[in-house]
Structure 1
Amino acid sequence: MTDRDGWLIGKLSDRVGISAHTIRYYERLGLLEPSKRTESGYRIYGEENEERLRFIQKAKRFGLSLDEIKQLITVRIKGTPPCASLKTMVKQHLDDLDRKIEEMVSLRREIASRYKEIDRLLADVSAPTPKQICRGKICGLIESIN
């Protein structure tokens, strides 16, 4: 198979750094146009497939899901630039990340507070742990949390 005719899936995989399995998966999802086939049934991919795969890779760096990428592709195929859709999607991802960061910071504060309490109760690691502190079926320090 020559580069002029297109590439077999292994060559395309090497060119874009995506496994052949992933390329087939993208094809099944409709992210990639079905490839042409040789007489013996091998898939043949061209430059448009390479460009689409590179677009998918770049779009994933925006935090987009494969469904969102497919939506952008569909909007473009219908003749409309998908930039406004991209803006909405990226804003949603930023809002979600901000919410998750707030949750993580809050969780970190809570765990740090619990660690300080454990450290206070078990300040001397060389001393035997007082039984009243570690009462419980497994670990009283955990079980005593309200």
Structure 2
Amino acid sequence: MTEGLLIGELSRRVNLPAQTIRYYERVGLLSPPKRTVSHYRIYSAAAAERLDFIQKAKRFGLSLDQIKRLIDLRQDGVPPCADLKAMVKQHLAELDQHIQDMLNLRQELAHRYEHIEAALSNSSELPDEIVCNGKICGLIEQDIGDNPTST
């Protein structure tokens, strides 16, 4: 009888695919496990705890490199909390910027849709070449300030 968990058992316990567990080993997030005589991996309870930590850290929006940094700091005897604070602050700033970019994109797209709607106001007719003047679709190719009826 083996003491520990085979990879399939660990996978079910932590709700991660075995392939992900092996990947975490390869990138150094998880220490290589002991092996049976037949070379099966045998994982300890500490491996399950580490995988639980990795999953929780990912919910903070941390990358695997950032998670590895936190783990390495702790293994070196340094509490990683200050680094975590900086990482989360950076992630929040990036999210705020992404949200602002998405809001700007939405506003621009709504403005472009209004332009398209005005150009194609009579939906019973197919658009003519004057409105759709372009190599493929003038409504995309023209700058938003351009008048679709100008040539």
Q: TM-score surpassing 0.5?
A: yes
Q: Give aligned pairs, total.
A: 144
Partner of 2:149: none
Partner of 1:18: 16
With 125-134 and 59-68 compared, the bigger mean Cα shift is at 125-134
SS of the aligned residue for 2:30 comes to coil
The 1-side partners of 2:88 and 2:127 are apart by: 51
The 2-side partners of 1:128 and 1:26 are apart by: 56
Partner of 2:82: 84
Q: What fraction of aligned residue pairs are identical, expressed as a percent?
A: 60
2:127 alignment partner AA: T
The 2-side partners of 1:78 and 1:144 are apart by: 58
The 2-side partners of 1:137 and 1:108 are apart by: 26
TM-score, normalisation: structure 2: 0.91
Q: How does 1:26-65 map to 2 (within 5 A)?
A: 26-65=24-63
Q: Does 1:114 align with 2:94?
A: no
Structure 1 ranges of 4+ moved more than 3 A: none
Q: Identify unmatched segments of 5+ residues in structure 2.
A: 145-151
2:98 alignment partner AA: K
State the Cα deviation string for residues 91-116 of structure 1 (Å, max 9, x = none).
00000001111111111111110100
Over 3 Å counting, the alpha-carbon distance change for 1:141 and 1:81 in structure 2 is same
Q: Identify unmatched segments of 5+ residues in structure 1.
A: none
The 2-side partners of 1:120 and 1:91 are apart by: 44
Superposed CA RMSD = 1.1
Partner of 1:99: 97
TM-score, normalisation: structure 1: 0.94
